[in-house]
Chain A
Amino acid sequence: MKTTFKTFGVALVAAFAVTTAAAAETIKIGFNAPLTGFAAADGKSARTGAELAVEQINSAGGVNGKMLELVVYDDQASPKESVPIANRLIEKDHVKIGISGSYSGATRAAAGVYQSAGVPYISAYAVHPDITRAGNYVFRTSFVGEVQGRAGAKLIGDTLGKKKVSVITLKNDFGKSLAAGFREAAGRFGIQVLNEYEYSIKDRQFGPIVSKVKADNPDAIYASGYFFTAGPLVSQLRAAGITAPIIGQEGYDSEKFIEIAGAASEGTIITTSLDRDSQAPETKDFIMSFEKKAGFKADMVAASGHTAVKVAAAALAKAGDRDPAAIRDAIAATTVTASTGTISFNKLGEVRKDVQVQVVKGGSWHRHSVISDAALLAPPEQ
């Protein structure tokens, strides 16, 4: 008896779901992000940023009179999950555009699926260079690792004028591509790399590396990582009495970094995409609305999720939601000012925008400088 009622209930709910879906026609945007697993924190932040963008667009009347709908699946930052999710989003949910709020491994695998289905795919913040090489339907609104690594070299060698550098590299595609870009540009700014150390994403204790860096006695330290590795790393470097400036990247870009490293985080400088002290209305409004919605402060990942949806919406507004090829062309031709700056794409689908340099001052992120050297920051063309 009980089961019969349950079945009846399920059928009823399903029927309602179908009718409501039919009643209000929406434009679906697919979204894969790690909502569980080690990267869940970033996934949640990116999703909240994307949801905020959808709410903002819908409350302003939607796109060409239709509401946007974000269809979200948890990919656990794993290619094993992201491929079936991409298939599902395309085949079952019939999304017009896919967005990745996930890491490189998952994004790279899904990019191939979108490309062969001919559905545009935007990577919000994954860094691996091969992602956009999947084909002409794949775009990226964040910097590839190499570009950010080159920006780091300019920041250290030119802006800060430090020449002897120890490099600490996170051993994954993010850290390695950053280090490659850094080494490539180091010579141009007179930087001498004293030593390079590698650590794994699971490491939280850096005692041996800290001791060795101390013996190197560098002018500056270029260390890649995410807030959960960088927080312990920076606090351990400072506790060992090392006072050289520490330069990180967008992986540090979270309030959580400051919380973990505490007082040791003061003065840490990073290259990233979100300028907390921006006077641009898009950025200011985003920072305020995000904190209100999420209950915690905006970070780079959140801003990137937000930006990717804004790019998608701008393309849909221009090309309509019927023809995937037209939507692709519209994304390729986009120039949108969003929370992470003014976005346009090169012919590979890589973003062109300025690098924001932020510093921890008085326990929160603030503007340090902006790097807008178009030649240095040129993303790969093929």
Chain B
Amino acid sequence: MLIFELFVQGLVQGSIYALIAVGLTLVYGLLRILHVAHAGLFTLGGYCGVLITNETGSLTLALLGAMMLVGIVGMGIYKLCYQPILSHPPFVALIASIGLFIAMEELYRLAFGPYGISFNQPPLQTSVNFLGMHLKLAEIITMLGAALLIGALALLSARTRIGVAWRATVTMPEIAESFGINIEQVRYINFFVGSALAAAAGVMVAVLNNLVEPTMGSVPSYKALAIIVLGGLGDVRGTLIAALALGVIEAYGTIYLGHLLDRDAIAFAFLIIVLMIRPQGLFGRAIS
């Protein structure tokens, strides 16, 4: 029974990782940029979630508001930070991204204080009996929400014109452009969607922990990088599986390896092992 409970806890954590990492891998797939500041958007999502809920009393409104706002900020980051340096080698954008992430953390500290903020009335805290397990409603909503959002994204990319344009741009940007696809538009949509997903993750973490702090993004910032490498850079399906797998491995690792290995070290031990066996990532295709 404990084994099963740990599995479910791993899925909850994995859902959060998935929501964050998908945005990151989308940006990498399109622009070949490691977008570290993405974790700063995750934190911003958390702040929006708490502040809007405290103001209006509605978590739904907060979730939508956070996704919308953070999506727009994500597009702003592309416009102001990445677009002007796209012609430079990728490490230039990486450095800019790290700088931006640090600046965001300090900005949150200045704007919202060092203590972190909490909900006045923490939502979704009811305990639900699910197959003999006590789960917080928030944990169930996190899993369902992540599945729903990522499912919608899959549908969007498979069935709509925007989705087709996006996939075409990722595979062959020059040819896509010559077929009349507006590449700039695709990039903006890309940043909007990825950032909105990170914001949703931020709101859910805020609800799970009832705490949003300026440094909330520091662990996800590098763990999400490990996840997208594991998943095969730019590969959305691989990223999802890697995220869930890492969540579950961490859940077991915390209990059974906790004395040997830090929870945060597990991700990287896992990463090293996988890269030794499959340098292209778990699901990436080898470049011949």
A residues near B, CB below 8 A? Answer: 36, 38, 40-41, 44, 171, 197-200, 202-205, 207-212, 214-215, 228, 231-232, 235-236, 239-241, 256, 259-262
Contacts and interface: CB of A to CB of B under 8 A. Distances in A.
B106 A198 contact: no
B286 interface: no
B177 interface: no
Name the 3 nearest CB pairs between A and B, nearest first.
Answer: A207-B9, A40-B114, A211-B5
B180 to A, nearest CB: 46
18 contacts: A40-B109, A41-B116, A44-B114, A198-B258, A199-B258, A200-B264, A205-B13, A208-B250, A212-B6, A214-B5, A228-B211, A231-B209, A231-B211, A235-B125, A239-B125, A240-B134, A261-B210, A262-B118
Contact of B263 (A41, A200, A228, A236): A200
Contacts of A199: 254, 258, 263
B10 A208 contact: yes
A212 B255 contact: yes
Interface string B201-244: 00001001111010110110000000000000000000000000
A204 B43 CA distance: 14
B208 A205 contact: yes
Contact of B211 (A204, A209, A211, A214): A204
B284 interface: no
Contacts of B134: 214, 239-241
A207 B139 contact: yes
Interface string B101-117: 00000100100001110
A231 to B, nearest CB: 6
B215 A198 contact: no
Nearest to B254: A208
Given A207-B9, A207-B12, A228-B213, A41 B114 contact: yes
B174 interface: no
The A contact surface, by secondary structure, is helix
A211 B259 contact: no
Contacts of B259: 198
A211 B2 contact: yes
A121 to B, nearest CB: 25
B188 interface: no
B196 interface: no
B127 A241 contact: yes
Interface string B1-33: 110011001101100000000000000000000
B66 interface: no
B127 A197 contact: no
B136 A260 contact: no
Listed residue (B9, B106, B213) with the most chain A CB atoms within 10 angstroms of its CB: B9
Contacts of B213: 228
A256 B252 CA distance: 31
B223 to A, nearest CB: 10
A231 B213 CA distance: 13
B164 to A, nearest CB: 37
B170 interface: no
Given A197-B255, A205-B209, A207-B139, A36 B9 contact: no
Contacts of B208: 205, 232
A209 B219 contact: no
Chain B CB within 10 Å, residue with most, of A203, A211, A231: A211
Contacts of A235: 122, 125, 209-210
Contacts of A212: 2, 6, 255
